[in-house]
Amino acid sequence: MKKIFITLLAIVATTTLFAQDQQGSLVKTGDQVPNFSVLTLDGKEFAISDLKGKVVLVNFFATWCGPCMKELPEVESQLWPKFKNENFAMVSIGREHTKEQLEAFNEKKGFTFPIAPDPKREVYAKFASQYIPRNFIVDKTGKIVWQGVGFSQEELGHMMKVIQENL
């Protein structure tokens, strides 16, 4: 009985995550990435249109989001050091956060990957209507090749595999 309950719980959780991804996403895998530009905390412009020829990870998070706070340290310790090079770019976009809020947040956390504010959800609204953390991998031609919502170690491993395959 216990095994049946655990199996059913796993199916419901997986189905819920899949439904959330489908329900909240405004772009599909295979679509061209929506055009956007943000200013990162260090004052540099991150314009997706300038990144053709690179594999790009676009991450959306919020400082109040529990799964986001589990994901970002893993991105910092595993993903960013492995892929940080001239063929890869990433930006982590703070949904509904100002530059000042993200500067205070990052002063405590010490993340080294590019972080940018999206205080009015203008960039986020091009990709999704709800649910974070949310990640999009864009290939060298500007096509979305993978997207995910939520965080788990398995999801991070899969995301890293997709990045590696597209480099």
Q: What is the mean pLDDT of residues 117-134?
A: 97
pLDDT at 8: 45
pLDDT over 90 (residue 73) = yes
Average pLDDT, the chain: 91
Q: Which residues contact 17 (CB under 8 A, 6 or more apart)?
A: 149, 150
Per-residue pLDDT band at 23 (split at 50, 70, 90): low
> What three-state secondary structure class fits 55?
strand
What residue ranges define each of the domains in the chain, with the CATH number in brackets? 2-166 (3.40.30.10)
pLDDT at residue 28 in the model: 96
pLDDT at 2: 60
- Report how far residue 114's alpha carbon sits from residue 46's, in angstroms, rounded to the nearest whole number: 9
Whether the pLDDT of residue 15 is over 90: the answer is no
